[in-house]
Amino acid sequence: MLSLLFSILSFAQKQTQYTLVDQQISQIPIRSTYSTDAIADYINAHFQTDDEKIRAVFYWTASNINYDVDKMVALNNKEALENNSTRILKSKKGVCSDYTKIFKEIANKVGIETETISGYTKQNGAVDTMSHAWSASKIDNHWYVFDPTWGSGYVNNGKFVNTFDNQYFKVNPSDIIASHMPYDYMWQFLNYPISNQEFYNGSTGVDKSKKRFDFEAEISKYYKSSEMEQLIGSSARIKKNGVVNTMILNQLTYEKSKIEYYKQVKTSDYFNTVVSLYNEGVNDLNKFLKYRNKQFKPITSDKELKAMIDGPRNKLRRCQEMLNNFGSIDERNVSSIKAIKQSLEESIGQTEEHTAFVNAYLSRSKVVRETMFYKINRL
């Protein structure tokens, strides 16, 4: 009875605290509700603090987006990436990934650091069989969790009932973990994250016998990392926290496939960089050969002449070094790598010959220099 009373009092306090915010955001002109930019502009114009702004973002999203029952399937990662906010705002319908997309876009545009979290949930003591997405925002240097989907209402007998639910607004991470389990435990925002098995068992209390996890430092590191590095770190944490259902396995498989994709892209980019540098080196070498065929005329300084052969020589040697550090080579790239290595050896051999000539040329007097030329062919 005490727990129920506390819940009612807490809800009433939130309602009283944000009543004016809710009324103000409800008065946003219809014409301003078809883009996240326009909604954000309205919020920035009418609210001052981050607390008021995030309330406006949550209240508007949860009150105006209706759950699309026909689209009620497990969170599709590819679909989530392709969500279009204009489409969502035009139809005012969506699933969890749509709610979180709108919430995040508006929140970020009003200057509030916000993330979308993917995971799975528990309702009425039972773990759901569908993946879910919710949000987290940093307010006054603290992370809070928001679920605009659950905050918008519920599905009953196959129909969506739109009724604003305040209990999913600005929830402390230690409270929401009882029902919302992120795939990546970094997004629990807890110094002592719980495992997937503990979530199943309902053991969501603080266990300080565990090793302390500095989630703030890890999130900071995450933001400084490349997308592939983020995925590698996330996959490692997901695996470490226990793969106890197919939803987690699917998420892990999805992230690993993206890692492989980025590795292929990185390999391709690396190889293209080598090829580009190789072409630059060969072009510079050809420029030198044309100049040598003209017996180094018009005359330049010895320093400039030395630089003309050192440039292509250094570029081609750098290419060789990059190829030697290429790492594992995909079967599709073996023939290309072999061909460019062979061409490099030949080109580097030529630069060494010309470097030796230039060094000898520069060590001679002007009279002797004029006798050193012979005709050579352009590459």
Per-residue pLDDT tens digits for 79-122: 444 458 989 999 999 999 999 999 999 999 999 999 999 999 99
Q: How far apart are the first and last CA of the chain?
A: 90
pLDDT at 83: 52
The first and second tokens of residue 139, run together, are 């307010």
Average pLDDT over residues 33-59: 97
pLDDT at 2: 33
Q: Which is more confident, 70 or 244?
A: 244
* Global pTM value: 0.75
Query: Model confidence over 165-224: pLDDT tens digits?
Result: 999 999 999 999 999 999 999 999 999 999 999 999 999 999 999 999 999 999 999 999
Q: Which is more confident, 79 or 66?
A: 66
Classify residue 272 by burial, with Cβ atoms within 10 Å: 0-12, 13-18, 19+: exposed
Q: Rounded mean pLDDT of the chain?
A: 89
Average pLDDT over residues 252-275: 89
Instruction: Please state which of the ranges 51-60, 210-219, 284-293 shows the lowest mean pLDDT.
Output: 284-293
For residue 195, the 8-state DSSP code is P
* Residue where the block lists tokens 């105006």: 64
Classify residue 183 by burial, with Cβ atoms within 10 Å: 0-12, 13-18, 19+: buried
Query: Model confidence over 110-134: pLDDT tens digits?
Result: 999 999 999 999 999 999 999 999 9
d(CA 250, CA 268): 27
Residue length, the chain? 379
pLDDT band of 366, cuts 50, 70, 90: confident
CB distance 67 to 152 below 8 Å = yes
pLDDT at 271: 85
Instruction: Please state which of the ranges 130-139, 237-246, 362-371 shows the lowest mean pLDDT.
Output: 362-371
d(CA 361, CA 193): 71
pLDDT at 80: 46
